[in-house]
Amino acid sequence: MRFLALFTFSTVLVCAATPSNTGALEDPDVMRARLSIERLRALVDAGAIPRVQLEQAQDALGDAQDMAILRHAMYSTDLTEAQADDMVAAAKRRLDRRQKKFDEVSGLIDSGIAAKNDLAPLSDQVDFARKEYDLAVTRADLCHQQAEMARVEQLHQSRVEPGTPGDDKAAVHYQGAGVFTPAEFEQVAAAFEHRFSKPLPVSAMGETAVHRAMGFDHRGRVDVALNPDQPEGVWLRQYLESRRIPYFAFWHAAAGKATGAHIHIGPESTRLTAAAD
């Protein structure tokens, strides 16, 4: 049960370095908004309604498209970095639209054209959109951090050294017994939770979009978002060594980016091309 829970948590953080379709155009709300615009455009051209109604419908279409992007990204278990950036941009546009409407009505209230109670629901919408944006930013940051960890692993895995890390090392490899099983992971996760009263911070469980995009066969491996020198990282490395479980410890991250420091449990990730041969 704990293994499944950790797998669910890890998939939330999965992302890759290649873009893919967000699926926004297939969203029913987007389709309805498009049909509404076509109908209103015909009425505007005929002089039956003012153009402002068409402009409002176009805003509604943009909002529906952005909501489709967010809906896809928030529930996706295989989010790419490009999709994460699209998610943040969509959330920002939704926030900007609501802030603009709030400001417009505030101006009308100051001019005595609108009543003050018209502002309360708009204020709630702005607050919700701001929380939506903050959540999108948080998830995108996790996505970029996961991708950066994979890039650091790709960069250093071929030149790691055995033994205890020194100041000049970016990564260290402990060979152990050379194998890592799901049963051993269950024991590692349980021991960590017992020791620190919190779940093992798994960032990648087995094969992920990140590693596929980079040509790594990550099946049977687990990445843990711990700096090898922090207390939890030191404990984990000692625990793995006491049970002869292989691991790679990575210290360095790319400058100016999210931390790439982590502990890769299991043998080295082979290339997908080699794994297929």
Q: The tokens of 7 are what?
A: 């797998």
pLDDT, average across residues 19-39: 63
Of the two residues 154 and 253, the one the predictor is more confident about is 154
Q: Is the pLDDT of residue 257 over 50?
A: no
Asked if 102 and 110 count as a contact pair (C-beta separation under 8 A), the reply is no
CB burial class (10 A; 0-12, 13-18, 19+) of residue 65?
Answer: buried
Asked if 189 and 199 count as a contact pair (C-beta separation under 8 A), the reply is yes
Residue 42's pLDDT is: 75
Pick left, alpha or beta for residue 269 (phi over 0 → left; psi -120 to 50 → alpha; otherwise beta).
Answer: beta
Q: Over the chain, what is the mean pLDDT?
A: 77
The secondary structure of residue 269, as a DSSP letter, is P
- Please state, in angstroms and rounded to a whole number, the distance separating the CA atoms of residues 30 and 6: 35
Lowest pLDDT segment from 12-16, 131-135, 146-150, 182-186: 12-16
Asked if 44 and 53 count as a contact pair (C-beta separation under 8 A), the reply is yes
Residue 210's pLDDT is: 66
The secondary structure of residue 153, as a DSSP letter, is H
Residue 34's pLDDT is: 72
The secondary structure of residue 175, as a DSSP letter, is -
- Alpha-helical (H) ranges within 160-244 are 182-196, 209-213, 231-242
Q: Is the pLDDT of residue 98 over 80?
A: yes
pLDDT, average across residues 231-242: 96
Residues of the chain above pLDDT 70, percent: 74
Q: Compute the radius of gyration of the chain from its Cα atoms.
A: 25
The b/e string for 222-241 (b: 16+ C-beta within 10 A; e otherwise) is bbbbbbbeeebbeebbebbe
Closest CA to 207 of 277, 155, 139, 275: 275
User: In sequence order, what are the residues at sequence separation of 6 or more whose Cβ sits closer than 8 angstroms to the Cβ of residue 46?
Assistant: none
Asked if 90 and 27 count as a contact pair (C-beta separation under 8 A), the reply is no
Chain segment 148-204, per-residue pLDDT in tens: 777 776 666 555 555 444 444 567 889 899 889 999 999 999 999 999 999 999 888
User: In sequence order, what are the residues at sequence separation of 6 or more whose Cβ sits closer than 8 angstroms to the Cβ of residue 26?
Assistant: 68
* Alpha-carbon distances of 10 from 21, 78, 140, rounded to whole Å: 22, 10, 14
- Please state, in angstroms and rounded to a whole number, the distance separating the CA atoms of residues 133 and 87: 9
Q: The tokens of 139 are what?
A: 């998830």
Q: The tokens of 85 are what?
A: 């950036």
